[in-house]
Amino acid sequence: MFLVYILTVIFSGYGCFFILFRKRPIHPVLELHAIAIVLGCVINTLIYYNALLLNIRLHPVIFIFGSFALFVYALTKHRPKSIDTLISPNKKVSIAVFALLLLFTAFISYKMKFYSWDAFAIWGLKAKQLYFTGIVGNAEFTEPALAYSHLTYPKFWPALMSQIYSFTGFHEGYAKLVLSLFFMSFALLFFHLYQSINKLFLFAVLFCPAILIQFSSAYADAIYACLYAISLYSVFQYVKTKETAYFILFTVFAAASLLTKNEGFFPCIAGLVILAYAFIKEREKMKRSVLAYGLITVFAVLPYFIWKSGLRAYDENYIHHLNLETISENSERILIIAKSFFSYMFGQIQFQAPFYTLPEWGLVWILAVAFSIYLFLSQRTVTMVLCISIFGAQLMLYGLIYLISPWEVTALIQSSIDRLLLHLLIPILFLIAEYPVKEIEVEITVSEHDEISEDGFVEPL
């Protein structure tokens, strides 16, 4: 039945993509595959989860027939003009190597249990609660004894797992296997963007153990990273092309990000800032888009926030701690936080042997920063400036959270910084994607003593 679930995702995702881009040829095909499958997961999960919030449990048959009907309708009424399936030989080799990596992560995801605290005590537990008892009137979401599971956390990832259980029965292996779809989407999105030497950096990222761990465990951060990446990609494309389809994709994926992690407000704000920049330049063309953004986001997330507003808060209230007194009291943490980010990103420099130890991320962050500095100094584009700004704002925000957190800061950093670095990597990946592809130009010099024949060849006199 897991394959049936995958088919519903494919039918709904590709069907929606075809409808969105019905007015133009779909190019390139990697963009289609990178977005469509995850789009199907997002749409199905948003419908399933919001129905649960309305105390309605939708049977899998509804999704099976609904997605199939949508796909048939899209093919018959909104078939794209054409789909460019051309993939360069270099990309084919890259994708073949990536396919082996994908199979490896799928195997690990399926076989490995929920081995980390957040995975089984927060996300896995909530998925079971949604599947077995629903959400409306469920005492397990209001029980103080379960406050360790962060009762009011966003529940997109548990809802996704719960929906898979509705197809397969309770089987954690199948729930984790869906992470492979998100890993595939994440990789194909950047395969589509990376064209030249920067592809070597992309392979360094994809083969990094920290990335593979995130996409084979049951953390919500891998899901969030993929949704965040597609939402940023969509808003960048919208600003460049002014295609409404990209704007709709952005709103859907930004809303899903907001329902996946508390950090999900950041893609929404970043997208709004980018849209505000574009709106100032072309105000009349974007009025409808701004209105659509508000409506889609509100309808997607409103049921969750209405439900959350009726619960007693047991989670950390960081806003309550955001004051000058707390910041002043915890000022000694600033050096600890800075050293932690540096050591996790670039390794540790010591004054006794070994004098240097590689970071847990290997060479990824060293290459990322070096590449980014080189690109930013050699050519500045609007996208680069936006990516640097987003990265800087995220880094300061996460540093501020560590600064005001009521928890012991060293333990908090050790348990969370790897996942935050995954979030921070997303804008850097888009920045490095701006690396120019330089075409090889062949200059032909025609002497004044030469003659050009009718068929275009140069004939010396």
pLDDT in tens, 412-461: 998 889 899 999 999 999 998 887 644 333 333 344 444 434 433 333 33
Per-residue model confidence (pLDDT) at position 119: 83
Per-residue model confidence (pLDDT) at position 298: 73
Beta carbons within 10 angstroms of residue 357's beta carbon: 11
- Is 14 within 8 Å of 69 (Cβ atoms)? no
Burial class, 296, CB count within 10 angstroms (exposed 0-12 / middle 13-18 / buried 19+): middle
| Helix extents (H) in 259-381 | 265-281, 283-309, 318-321, 324-329, 333-346, 364-378
Closest CA relative to residue 146, chosen from 127, 123, 122, 124: 122
Per-residue model confidence (pLDDT) at position 198: 75
**Chain segment 39-94, per-residue pLDDT in tens:** 999 999 999 999 988 888 999 999 999 999 999 998 888 776 656 555 556 666 66
- What's the Cα-to-Cα distance from 96 to each of 25, 28, 99, 454, rounded to whole Å? 26, 18, 5, 45
| Spatial separation of the C-alpha atoms in residues 109 and 346, rounded to whole Å | 28
- Is 79 within 8 Å of 22 (Cβ atoms)? yes
| Spatial separation of the C-alpha atoms in residues 65 and 58, rounded to whole Å | 12
Residue ranges of the chain whose pLDDT lies below 50 = 437-461
What per-residue string of b and e applies to 145-158 under the rule 16 or more CB within 10 Å gives b? Answer: ebeebbbbbbbbbb
**Domain boundaries of the chain, sorted by first residue:** 2-315, 318-461
Per-residue model confidence (pLDDT) at position 92: 67
- Is 433 within 8 Å of 193 (Cβ atoms)? yes
**Three-class SS string for 406-433?**
CCCHHHHHHHHHHHHHHHHHHHHHHHHC
Q: How many CA atoms lie within 13 A of 64 on its CB side?
A: 11
Token readout for 369 is 């920063």
| Spatial separation of the C-alpha atoms in residues 417 and 424, rounded to whole Å | 10
- Is 123 within 8 Å of 155 (Cβ atoms)? no
**Three-class SS string for 175-220?**
HHHCHHHHHHHHHHHHHHHCCCCHHHHHHHHHCCHHHHHHCCCCCH
3-class secondary-structure state, position 81: coil
Beta carbons within 10 angstroms of residue 125's beta carbon: 18
| Spatial separation of the C-alpha atoms in residues 124 and 120, rounded to whole Å | 4
Per-residue model confidence (pLDDT) at position 365: 92
Backbone angles phi, psi at 155, to 5 degrees: -125, 30
pTM: 0.87
Rounded percentage of the chain residues whose pLDDT exceeds 70: 80
Element (H, E) at 450: strand 450-452
Per-residue model confidence (pLDDT) at position 451: 44
Token readout for 75 is 């093919």
Question: Residue 221, Cα to own-chain centre: how many angstroms?
Answer: 9
| Spatial separation of the C-alpha atoms in residues 157 and 263, rounded to whole Å | 14
Burial class, 456, CB count within 10 angstroms (exposed 0-12 / middle 13-18 / buried 19+): exposed
3-class secondary-structure state, position 114: coil
Q: Tell me which residue has tokens 């640097």.
A: 388
Element (H, E) at 459: strand 458-460
Residues 6+ apart with CB under 8 A from 219: 116, 118, 119, 123, 419
Q: How many CA atoms lie within 13 A of 294 on its CB side?
A: 5
- Is 373 within 8 Å of 295 (Cβ atoms)? no
Per-residue model confidence (pLDDT) at position 59: 92
Closest CA relative to residue 228, chosen from 15, 425, 30: 425
Kindly calculate the radius of gyration of the chain based on its CA atoms and give it in whole angstroms: 24
3-class secondary-structure state, position 356: strand
| Spatial separation of the C-alpha atoms in residues 396 and 273, rounded to whole Å | 17
- Is 228 within 8 Å of 269 (Cβ atoms)? no
Per-residue model confidence (pLDDT) at position 84: 56
| Spatial separation of the C-alpha atoms in residues 290 and 275, rounded to whole Å | 8
Question: Residue 122 has what DSSP assignment?
Answer: I
